[in-house]
Structure 1
Amino acid sequence: MSRYGPRPFFPGLAAALLAASVTAAPAVVTDPTAVTVALAAPVAAGMAPNCATPPALARSVSAVPWPQQRYAPERLHPLATGAGVTVAVVDSGVDRRHPQLAGRVLGGTDLLDPGGDGTRDCVGHGTGVASIIAAVPHDGSGLRGLAPAARILPVRVSEQQVVDGQGTGRTVAPDDFARAIRWAVDNNADVVNLSVVLYADHTAVRDAVGYALARDVVVVAAVGNLHGNGDPRPYPAAYEGVLGVGAIGADGVRADFSQVGSYVDLVAPGSDVLMAAPGQGHHRAEGTSYATPFVAATAALLREYHPELSAEEVAGRLKSTADPAPGNGYGAGVLNPYRAITETTGGAVARSAPVIALADDRPDPALVAQQNRRADARQRAVLLATVGGVVVVGIVLVALVVPRGARRRWRPADPN
């Protein structure tokens, strides 16, 4: 099993490195702005077109993975499947050829190789993340996404991997990462999954996150895998309004690599996670990268089942319905999708300060349309409540007046 996790951007390098995880024996971090950590070696089947190195062969796994045993998608899917919801996966691309992602992956964009549509994945990280969200049932596979009817919008920003413990491959710079977030928002993402980490605060990225939140988009980000290296502050997870996600194992205990800090909002499965590999087959990996899509998928379920909730209210509900956790470092607790959907409690949670977004005097058409839909829904609800109240009052009056009239031998007036 490989350890994948959030790909970090590290400022101070000639090209900011974007990596999915630390390896099993991570380098000692003395200055988190100058560390070279990269993706674990890919273990996936097939090769996306034009990839320099073909991934290793991956076989299908029929056993039901432990996160699905915990979350029982068969209980969730009669209620919600993520239908009509778009989840942007800003990552290494998403290979739509995998049979469990067939029909679920939209045309996206490629900020590494202009002209691409985001569906080339040379390392498997983004394909794995997308499958945790939206993998459809398939014969011979135990994998099933939490939101199998959600649409995946791929935004490709990296093809980095680990070879002999060293990160190799291209990544985008933080400014382009910020552009990726804005592109996802402008192309109708309802939820943005960021299995990435920057260990420095970049103004462009902060503003891009604010842009997303201001347009009612749920932003979910990994908190990083450097707990053993002093828990350097991770972004975008540390920005206000972003759901920061840590990792637990099958025993419900926080994974030893999962970072701890005020930026952890809740935790989800992130050890021994089964996921789709490029082309076909499956592999297992660990990292907060793979805990993040469980939360993003649940946000998609909520956006379908409770369309009246704002992004802030969705985040609040996810935290308020989390299961209690055994100690510190778990945020509000362990993600519980069923409780998030079905419980009547859980709303917006106040944050200490707003995210400052770039000024934009032009009204956003998607946001206006969404606000209009929610206003219409509220008006219909008020109308139905009013009509129902009138009917109830009428029934009460009839129940009181008719018996009294009968006792007084009331008869209708003779029309003649």
Structure 2
Amino acid sequence: MKDSVFLALGKLLVEIELGMRITSTERNRNGQPSLWLTLDKILEEDRLPSVGDDYLNAIEACLDLHQSNSELMPEERTSELSRLIYDSIVVNLEKEFSRYRKSRKRKRRCDVSPSSMDLGLSPVSADTGSIQIFKSRNEETNIAGAADLWNASFRNSSPLNKSANNRQSSIQPEESGNAADQGAKESSKQPQITTEESVMTNRRVLDDLEPDVSATDSRALRASNEFFSKMEGFLESYLPRSYTEPSRRAKVCIIDTGIDLKHPSVQGAKKRLREMISFKGDSMEDETGHGTLVAELVLRLAPEATLCVAKVAVAKTMPEEDTQLITRAIYWAVLQDADIISLSLALDLLDPELDYAIKRATEHGKIIVAAAGNDGLNMLRAYPASNRNVLCIHASDGKGKEGGISPNAWDNDDNFMTLGVDISLNWRGKPIVKSGTSFATAVAAAIAADALAIISPEVSEDHRKRLHSSEGMRLIFALLSKPSGTGYKYVAPWNLWGEDRSDKLIRELILDTLKR
């Protein structure tokens, strides 16, 4: 059955509430993309929690009318459809317009086909030292099955019950097969999007700007270097150095373009690199440098954190169907018990499956940070940074001034920003200067890891659970922030841990914050 005007209206109502466009990710029994199933799944999983019953009933009526319209006789359609449209859609929207919006739980619709995706993961070898290398299987696993899998994995876990099975040694990654061929095989298994948004098959996903070689003497570069100097002083003063339990270290999962294990910063910290997986081919090789530079920042600014890395892209653009690789990577990060998931990428379309993965990850206490986007006021906040469960990160210079590349600050939102302008890095033996909310996201992930390391040993189990959550870290980031006067909040550790505050006062501020 072709999509009708009723489905188009239902889609529009959903997009208005979400604030983003959606695509047909669900498939019918014939394997074809189904907008009806996609909208139905959004309803049944309660992904529109801020709207009232009447608004949801109007969307549901659009789905019902799409089906019942084909059952009406031609002579019935004009009069009967007019009545049904008014009674089930217009009346509900009028009620919603005049009534306070409240959330509700939806009962599950019984005729929705479960979606499938490749979530199976198998280790290359049972014991590979300090770095475990995984590769994805081509067999499909139901999302519900994956949910059951991690429910079982975390049933008896707590934020500090980390797996300590990895030994402190290092290895080189195994490389096998042709990455391009494997990537093509994996891409062919992803749902093909057939809505109007699919005119552009490749979309920019990596959120960084080209290196600015002229910035080596700029004021912004000096401010950036000053930020790193202040971070070094902060870490030296406050970060615990010798844990009695290595399992207490925070783990950051970087979902990006892979990692170059020969990069000097990575080589020097290889004992802190744990698991790796490529969802785009078999090799972890980083062809763009993006993922490696993100890892360099996290390793430098969070010296007690461990890393796991998931490769989901090989270029600055990504086929729309490869969005599911990000979804699978988030599931994998949860299974590796990462505390923080870093997404230095920016999409312009909401993806329901990715949205659901984010929801499940945050339900398991995972902190997710993502890039706001680099198009300034020319584009809206990127996805998934626009998801409320995600900490959206904008870019500032080293003095806390908005860097001129972030999207507009949202009303009634935190609008966090941190260093992301004129950062001095190294790629393939050459110094480069990079800017972007991608790198601000890496800095934010490192600050979050440092906060976990400093605060966790000092608070109760209940406070620790609060701390190990996106909303808990949102509160901590607010505590680490100073208003910029432009709607953004500048996140820097010394905004809390400063010379003018005693350790006792800092602890009281943190405890009061985590009680909210």
Partner amino acid for 2:341?
Answer: V
Alignment TM-score, normalising by the size of structure 1: 0.61
Partner amino acid for 2:400?
Answer: G
Q: In structure 2, do the counterparts of structure 1 residues 72 and 232 end up closer, same or farther at CA, with 3 Å as the change threshold?
A: closer
Q: In structure 2, do the counterparts of structure 1 residues 81 and 222 end up closer, same or farther at CA, with 3 Å as the change threshold?
A: farther
Count of residue correspondences: 284
Q: In structure 2, do the counterparts of structure 1 residues 160 and 108 end up closer, same or farther at CA, with 3 Å as the change threshold?
A: same
Residue 269 (str. 1) matches residue 419 (str. 2): yes
Residue 243 (str. 1) matches residue 391 (str. 2): yes
Identity of aligned residues (%): 23
1:313 alignment counterpart = 472
**Which structure 2 residue ranges, 5 or more long, are not aligned?**
1-21, 24-196, 214-220, 457-463, 498-502
Q: Aligned runs of 1:2-401 on 2, under 5 Å?
A: 12-13=198-199, 15-21=201-207, 40=210, 65-69=225-229, 71-80=230-239, 84-102=249-267, 103=270, 104-113=272-281, 115-116=282-283, 118=284, 120-134=285-299, 145-161=300-316, 173-229=322-378, 231-262=379-410, 265-277=415-427, 279-307=428-456, 308=464, 309-311=467-469, 312-328=471-487, 330=488, 333-340=489-496, 343-344=506-507, 345-346=509-510, 347-348=513-514
Deviation at residue 160 of structure 1 after TM alignment: 1.1
Query: What is the SS of the residue equivalent to 2:205?
Result: coil
Q: In structure 2, do the counterparts of structure 1 residues 240 and 275 end up closer, same or farther at CA, with 3 Å as the change threshold?
A: same
Partner amino acid for 1:79?
Answer: Y
Query: What is the SS of the residue equivalent to 1:155?
Result: strand
Kindly indicate whether the alpha-carbon contact (under 8 Å) linking 2:203 and 2:347 is maintained by their aligned counterparts in 1.
Answer: no
Kindly indicate whether the alpha-carbon contact (under 8 Å) linking 1:18 and 1:171 is maintained by their aligned counterparts in 2.
Answer: no
Kindly indicate whether the alpha-carbon contact (under 8 Å) linking 1:92 and 1:157 is maintained by their aligned counterparts in 2.
Answer: yes
- State the distance in 2 between where 1:274 and 1:210 align: 35
Deviation at residue 258 of structure 1 after TM alignment: 0.9
Deviation at residue 90 of structure 1 after TM alignment: 0.6
Deviation at residue 79 of structure 1 after TM alignment: 2.4
- State the distance in 2 between where 1:42 and 1:180 align: 31
**Which structure 1 residue ranges, 5 or more long, are not aligned?**
1-8, 24-39, 44-60, 135-144, 162-166, 351-416
Q: In structure 2, do the counterparts of structure 1 residues 295 and 64 end up closer, same or farther at CA, with 3 Å as the change threshold?
A: closer
- State the distance in 2 between where 1:12 and 1:81 align: 49
Q: Deviations over 1:63-107 (max 9, x none)?
A: 9823313x3323223422697111111111121222222213333
Query: What is the SS of the residue equivalent to 2:198?
Result: coil
Deviation at residue 286 of structure 1 after TM alignment: 0.6
Deviation at residue 301 of structure 1 after TM alignment: 0.9
- State the distance in 2 between where 1:326 and 1:317 align: 20
Structure holding more helix per residue = 2
- State the distance in 1 between where 2:321 and 2:227 align: 32
Deviation at residue 237 of structure 1 after TM alignment: 0.9
- The answer to which structure, 1 or 2, has the higher relative contact order (CA under 8 A, 6+ apart) is 1
Query: What is the SS of the residue equivalent to 2:353?
Result: helix
Kindly indicate whether the alpha-carbon contact (under 8 Å) linking 1:273 and 1:284 is maintained by their aligned counterparts in 2.
Answer: yes
- State the distance in 2 between where 1:242 and 1:265 align: 11
Partner amino acid for 1:314?
Answer: M
Alignment TM-score, normalising by the size of structure 2: 0.50
Partner amino acid for 2:468?
Answer: S
Q: In structure 2, do the counterparts of structure 1 residues 340 and 17 end up closer, same or farther at CA, with 3 Å as the change threshold?
A: farther
Query: What is the SS of the residue equivalent to 2:481?
Result: coil
Kindly indicate whether the alpha-carbon contact (under 8 Å) linking 2:207 and 2:346 is maintained by their aligned counterparts in 1.
Answer: no
Q: Deviations over 1:222-267 (max 9, x none)?
A: 11112241x3242111111211110112443211111123265311
- State the distance in 2 between where 1:234 and 1:64 align: 24
Q: In structure 2, do the counterparts of structure 1 residues 326 and 337 end up closer, same or farther at CA, with 3 Å as the change threshold?
A: same
